[in-house]
Chains A and B, each alone.
Chain A
Amino acid sequence: MPQAGSTPANTPTHCPYCALQCAMSVSPGGPADGTAGSADRGADVQPRQFPANGGALCRKGWSSAQLLGAADRIVEPLLRGPDGVLRPAAWDEVLDLVAAKVRTLRAAYGPDAVAVFGAGGLTNEKAYQLGKFARLALGTRLIDYNGRFCMSSAAAAGNRSFGLDRGLPFPLADLGGAGAILLLGSNVAETMPPFVRHLQGARDAGGLMVVDPRRSATARLSDDGAGLHLQPTPGTDLPLLLSLAHIVLAEGLADEDYLASRTVGRDAVARSVAPWWPERAQATTGVPADLLRTAARRLAEAARAARAGGAPVYVLTGRGVEQHVNGTDTTTAAINLALLLGLPGTRAGGFGTLTGQGNGQGGREHGQKSDQLPGYRKITDPAHRAHVAAAWGVDESLIPGPGVPAAELLHSLGLPGGPRMLFVHGSNVAVSAPDAGRVMEGLRRLDFLVVADFFLSETAAEADVVLPVLQWAEEEGTMTNLEGRILRRRRAVTPPSGARSELWIMAELARRLDSPGRFPTDAREVFEELREASRGGLADYSGIDYAALDAGEAVYWPCPADASPAGGTRAGGAARDSAEEDSAEKDSAEKDGLAGSAPAPGPTLRGTPRLFMDRFAHPDGKARMVAVRFGAPAEQLNLPGTLTLLTGRLLEHYQSGAQTRRVPELNAAQPELRAELHPATAVAHGVADGDMVLLSNGRGRVVARATLDSGMRTDCVFLPFHFPGDASANLLTSPATDPVSSMPGFKNASVSLSALPAGLPADALPADLPPGAVRRRGAEAAARPLAEAAR
């Protein structure tokens, strides 16, 4: 499949990492200093002017090409031998074996013996094809993806309130002109640094309000009069938001005309926030009552000015408030606040959630979710099933029903009634899933594990078959960024000869399994089918084609087929902008010029840059105000002697670190797990800066180096989740999930902290500790033969 051929210099594409999808140009061949690895597979990256990143990149983007030629890249299929060792094997051999395993297990245990786990980093084409592959080729209902750990709470809340879930329902560049932004649970200064440029307007206006239990790099952006930092104790974002809503209503600051004309449910929400006067919220959150009042009033004053034509106001959420068992309700409370201020669906501002993974948006629209079909369709809706079956060219009865969400799927692996075989694409669940120790046990219980990856991730190290796949700069496809804009990912370099695209792998397996439906290997062909499958759905891509994207058009979904650049159409109940607003968007994109060279000329706009301008996507066109309540947390926090574990990301690493830990300059900057503690917490535990500490609870134990930061709260400890083995923060996180979204409560684990005597090796941990998951045997056993394979 990989064709030798010319790969021109300066191919325009986008960064492999987060949902900001910074634009970059990639040229084959590494820079002279050789940092991009071996010359034949290396590449050079340069930032490219684009509204989302303003010509900027972060350190991860700059160094991203170093992975293309990494020495430990998997370039041949690996097959675990009878001796338990992974060794290189031929493609036909492993594909035949995988197909045979599917047939055998399916015959013995039924179609749900095989499950699929996808990812928010896959292109739209791969995500779409993976959903179809699971349902048609494998015949299983069991597919879900790691986006369940990212966007599910925000998605559920957006669907419930607006009838539609698009992370930012407005162009990202709109934020640049904001007069005030309330940013909840998002550390963009670390996770997507170029995004910070869009906060400058709000900072200049003194209106950046950051809610975070840590004085994070982002919270510090509110210093020096640029805004406010509200530092609640973990797990209390919901009462904080209820109190802000309380103040807005109690002081008569809500936009009652908007509420009457564009929403339903106002009174029930008002009654639900009446118990949250600021002093009561203070006693729950630890945020002083007057600070709550100040924040609410600043927001409301800015919103009033925005409604009169001033700078707009935005409420934005991130995983910090969403990854809780009440994450959907917390996001709903943030939406309610935005609605009280009269923002969503107007030019006065809006509500948005900051998608995390590269294709976290597109990845949640096209059928990787257990309950969903392409175009954001429901797998339980007969009309939706019929439409997709027609697009797939199969009988509707061949599409299985809904499966189970990610955490439940992963925790049922190999158990009676659970799947016995798993395909993993683009995810490192051994590190990234909650209660990761339990997930590792599940992976080891499986009869057969197939992992498609380009590195021997901690998950791939457990596999029976590892399928080497292409990296971002080696493949064609589309990605949908955090603002719902569809972008082209382009092939800039020639892949290693032994690696294959996942589209090819699915096609080969589908053929071996006599699957119905079509499995083309060309991304453009897959996209053409995706257009049809999504036609008329909420996430309608039918009006989008590669030609328009390649011509540089700025296309936002929904984009129905009959949408012309200047025409006004409706899709999925959501109205698109008028042409007049399109030109305004062009202005703001240009104003956003920022660093570097002059901005590119304003692109042609297509689809729906701004959603909800006329109506929300519910049948009556109105947004739902949903009353939510603060209940007891799933896990008892703050018992004497315990700390609450916060998890999150570092600037230098991405997700499970499977990629960034292999980039020398990133790994050198953050080589090991560091636990951030308040100095007073450290003193109380007899810990000094740089000491090794043990964090433990009933699920596992983790070893980290303490680093002291007076910006922490004294009741918390922070761990980044980028590290494997006994440095995996997710050994401690809770598998309890949100009842609406099935989002695990990643941010609500209670842990104990103790100092480790200097020099004590991690495997010499005291035996009386709770049964943890310091189990590196499998990974080590697998890693050794890989070294052989690489040679």
Chain B
Amino acid sequence: MSAPERIVVLGFGPVAARLVEDLLPAVRAGRVLVTVVGAEVHAAYNRVLVADVGTGRTAPEAVALSDAEDLAAEGVEVRLGTAARRVDRARRTVLLSDGGVLPYDRIVFATGARAVVPVLRGLDFAPHGEPRLPEGVVALRDLDDAAALLPVVRSGGRVVVLGGGILGVEAALAIREQGARAALVHHGDIPLARALDHDGGRLLSAALAAAGVDVVPQARAVAVRLEEGRFTGLELGDGTVVPGDLLVLSVGVRARAELAEGCGLTVDRGIVVDRFLRADTEDRVFAVGDCAAVAGRPPSGLIGPGWTQAAWLAKYLVEHPAPGFLDGPGPAAPAVDPLAEERPGIILLKARGVDVAAGGDVSPGPWDSAPWGGSPQRVAVWADPQQGRYCKMVTVDGVLTGFVAVGMPRTAAELVLLYERGAELPADRSTLFRLDDAALSLPPAPAGPDDVLCRCSGATHGQVGHAVGEGCTTVEQVGASCRAGTGCGGCRDRIEALLASAASTV
């Protein structure tokens, strides 16, 4: 068969963008035809940075990931502002919102997730459609939401953020930092409760309060207050009202899977796919990113795994043509390793001045699994609430299985690497606790006569002392005598000090 294989990608978010980008070499080579269908009018942009756009930290142009014209010039068909209505797996076609019909040989669902709209009086309940929200209520998922937030932040208004997850915490901090007021309303004692242990969470609460965010813990929201159809406050279960000019809903996302469900695919918190990202048994239907439940695990909601999946899938699609397209590497193609199992994701708070990183199971405490038996988990903790620092490392056989680091950026950065690698930690965990120690570089021990003073020339303290004793009075004379100070010049201060002390003792 000589016609190129037709691949249709449903959705044009960051994960779809990566997939299409990685398919470009095959597109250029004429091996595949790619059509990407995006419901938004924008080409793919970095959804992770929507809060930065909404708070005015960055411009919408700066978050673009793809350019429709560039892609079209490369031979990719880009359909923006077009939604898929129905997928007909028997005919292998997609019915589009504009009435068009797209035939495919293989199809990839990259439809992402939509914000969960909580059950609150004043909000429509629409679990399976795009939510229609009152004025002044946004989900902060797309650039339209960002555009609604921006004027409130610019005018120094007050924003109520509902939800103590990472997106909620980041939004509240960004809003506050950009000069507006922010209230963070969340369940339970602490924010980021799914990622942090109690001590880490308490320290984060304190850091939020110190940053000027009004933290409202233990809250159960029951209603949005509206005046003339516009948001004015969030009513809590105890009757109090948190007033504000805008409500940001940040209570989670749900896979956009109804299209997949409608064509008979298995959906369980996401489109269920195997480790080859296949949703069917015929190697024709795939799913990636926030809409995909890989090996039955619900989507993480993080972008990293989605990009990994996209890169893996592009390689797979190119190396394994669809049934009937055997002019590629064909049946003799090397077997592709299935997608590697994703480690539980890490949390890295995107915020300025508040450093939080966490990953894995952080529930054990240092005394839960003491050396005298029981669980193989070992826990080391450093806590200095006064300085805003807290760190917990949970290990099994020396390998990190969970960690929290608050207010310790260098330690956090290393722990993230060690966790991702599954590397063994230093036996003395304090090596890692001390990375943020400003006093780490201790003053050097007093030098002896054989210690090198000038690294470039190799001249020792003894030789310089001798030169000074012989009557040298300038750095140049010392250099002429023993070459000290004649290289990079970095030791000139020390030579001058020796000359000065010699002069003062004369």
Q: Report A's interface with B, CB cutoff 8 A.
A: 47, 54-59, 62, 189, 193-197, 200, 217, 221, 223, 233, 249-252, 267-268, 270-271, 274-275, 277-280, 282-283, 285-291, 293, 594-596, 638-641, 651-652, 665, 669, 678-681, 683-684, 710, 714-715
Contact = CB atoms under 8 A, between A and B. Distances in A.
A252 B65 contact: no
A640 B425 CA distance: 11
Contact of B487 (A56, A283, A669): A56
Given A59-B487, A271-B64, A288-B413, A251 B57 contact: yes
Interface in B43-67: 45-46, 48-49, 52, 57-59, 61-67
A288 B431 contact: no
B67 A267 contact: yes
B426 A271 contact: no
B489 A640 contact: no
B410 interface: yes
B305 interface: no
A426 B45 CA distance: 52
B487 A271 contact: no
B49 A277 contact: yes
Nearest to B426: A680
Contact of A196 (B66, B485, B490): B490
Given A289-B350, A595-B489, 18 more contacts: A56-B487, A59-B456, A59-B457, A193-B455, A193-B488, A250-B63, A268-B70, A275-B46, A275-B65, A279-B349, A279-B350, A280-B348, A288-B413, A595-B476, A595-B492, A638-B417, A638-B421, A684-B427
A708 to B, nearest CB: 12
B20 to A, nearest CB: 12
Nearest to A46: B480
Interface string B435-472: 00000110000000000000111100000000000000
Nearest to B441: A223
A271 B483 contact: no
Q: How large is the interface on B (under 10, 10 to 19, 20 to 34, 35 or more residues)?
A: 35 or more
Contacts of A56: 456, 486-489
A282 B351 CA distance: 13
B457 A274 contact: no
Q: Which of A223, A270, A291 has the most CB of B within 10 A?
A: A270
A646 B57 CA distance: 38
Contact of A271 (B58, B67, B489): B67
Nearest to B307: A275
Contacts of A683: 426-428
Contacts of B48: 277, 280
A59 to B, nearest CB: 5
Contacts of B46: 274-275, 277
B142 interface: no
Residue from A195, A274, A640 with most neighbouring chain B CB atoms (10 Å): A274
A290 B485 contact: no
A279 B352 CA distance: 10
Contacts of B457: 57-59, 62
B487 A57 contact: yes
B489 A594 contact: yes
B62 A270 contact: yes
B424 interface: yes
A640 B424 CA distance: 7
Interface of B: 14, 45-46, 48-49, 52, 57-59, 61-67, 70, 303-304, 307, 346, 348-350, 352-353, 355, 399, 409-410, 412-414, 416-417, 420-424, 426-428, 431, 440-441, 455-458, 475-476, 479, 483, 485-490, 492
B420 A283 contact: yes
Contacts of B428: 680, 683
A288 B355 contact: yes
Contacts of B64: 267, 270-271, 274
A59 B487 CA distance: 8
A293 B412 contact: no
Contacts of B422: 640
9 contacts: A197-B489, A250-B52, A250-B57, A267-B67, A274-B64, A277-B49, A293-B352, A596-B486, A714-B431
Contacts of A669: 458
A149 B214 CA distance: 58
Contact of A277 (B67, B350, B352, B412): B350
A286 B421 contact: no
Contacts of A270: 61-62, 64
B453 to A, nearest CB: 13
A318 to B, nearest CB: 16
A278 B413 CA distance: 11
B426 A252 contact: no
Given A58-B456, A193-B455, A291 B489 contact: no
A318 B423 CA distance: 29
A558 B48 CA distance: 47
Nearest to B408: A288
A59 B458 contact: yes
Given A289-B348, A595-B479, A715-B423, A47 B66 contact: no
A681 B417 CA distance: 15
Contact of B486 (A47, A250, A287, A641): A47
Contacts of B420: 283
Contacts of A62: 457, 483, 486
B441 A684 contact: no
B7 to A, nearest CB: 21
A103 to B, nearest CB: 46
A329 to B, nearest CB: 15
Closest 9 CB pairs of A and B: A196-B488, A680-B426, A288-B409, A193-B488, A193-B456, A193-B487, A250-B58, A279-B348, A680-B431
A614 to B, nearest CB: 30
Given A196-B488, A217-B455, A286-B417, A274 B427 contact: no
Contacts of B488: 56, 58, 189, 193-197
Contact of B65 (A58, A274, A288, A715): A274
Contacts of B441: 223
Given A274-B65, A279-B348, A286-B416, A196 B489 contact: yes
A596 B440 CA distance: 36
A274 B486 contact: no
A667 to B, nearest CB: 12
Contact of A282 (B58, B416, B492): B416
Contacts of B431: 678-680, 714
Given A252-B59, A665-B458, A57 B486 contact: yes
Contacts of A252: 58-59, 62
A639 B399 CA distance: 12
A296 B498 CA distance: 39
Contact of A291 (B45, B59, B399, B409): B409
A359 to B, nearest CB: 22
Contacts of A680: 426-428, 431
B285 to A, nearest CB: 27
Nearest to A276: B46
A285 to B, nearest CB: 8
Nearest to A252: B59
A287 B410 CA distance: 7
A193 B424 CA distance: 37
B14 to A, nearest CB: 7
Nearest to B419: A283
B62 A274 contact: yes
A26 B232 CA distance: 85
Contacts of A714: 414, 426, 431
B424 A684 contact: yes
B71 to A, nearest CB: 11
A283 B348 contact: yes
B487 A194 contact: yes
A161 B191 CA distance: 47
Contact of A288 (B303, B412, B426): B412
A680 B433 CA distance: 13
A640 B350 CA distance: 29
B348 A288 contact: no
Nearest to A597: B476
